[in-house]
Amino acid sequence: MRQPQNAKRGRGRGRRGNGNAQPNVPNRNTSYESNGPDVKLRGNAQQLNEKYLALAHDAAAAGERITAEAYTQFADHYFRLHQAAVDAAEERRAQHAERQSRAEAPQPSIEEEAKPQPDTEGDSAAEKADGAEVVDLSPAKLSEMVQEDQDSASA
């Protein structure tokens, strides 16, 4: 025996008060019950889009333009829901791949961080070809440059 829909509504109440609520983005398998004009359909967003497009095509073929337009609007609604679910899934996949690549990337050890960086005096031809100048901005060099600028400005 099926439970009435109202019995399931209270399960999620009171859980959104923590401040980091995410927008409700359905996954691709979310099932919908659609009460469209003249019909009641069930399925996921992609299936409902296809069913309403078929109904719109049939109505247009029968010469019922208003009914065909109504079905087309329903199809558009479910198309947008399906696209939102696809976009959310792709974003989750990209975030997961980014987290995986960060986790697999070798982390520099303390000894490697303490090693001085090589001098950039002997720039390669490729670096000079693009017109960008590589400047060493270590604290010692930076203070020397500021001091030289101040001396030349005061002279």
Domain presence at residue 144: no
Report, as an integer, the average pLDDT of 145-153: 84
pLDDT tens digits, 71-91: 999 999 999 999 999 999 899
Amino acid letter, residue 72 = T
Domain presence at residue 138: no
Q: Can you read off the two tokens belonging to residue 80?
A: 């947008």
Q: Can you read off the two tokens belonging to residue 82?
A: 């399906």
| Residue range of the domain that includes 54 | 26-104
Residue 136 φ/ψ region, left for φ over 0, alpha for ψ in the -120 to 50 degree band, beta for the rest: beta
Domain presence at residue 32: yes
What's the structural domain count of the chain? 1
Domain presence at residue 79: yes
Q: Can you read off the two tokens belonging to residue 28?
A: 């691709």
| Confidence bin at 107 (pLDDT 50/70/90) | low
Q: What is the pLDDT of residue 140?
A: 80
Report, as an integer, the average pLDDT of 21-45: 79
- Does 9 have pLDDT greater than 80? no
Q: What is the pLDDT of residue 137?
A: 72
Sequential DSSP letters for the chain: -PPPTHHHHGGGTT--TTS-PPP----TT--EEEEETTEEEEE-HHHHHHHHHHHHHHHHHTT-HHHHHHHHHHHHHHHHHHHHHHHHHHHHHHHHHHHHHHHHSPPPPHHHHHSPPPP-SS--HHHHHTTPPP----HHHHHHHHHHHHHHHH-
44 touches 29 (CB < 8 A): yes
Domain presence at residue 46: yes
pTM summary value:
0.51
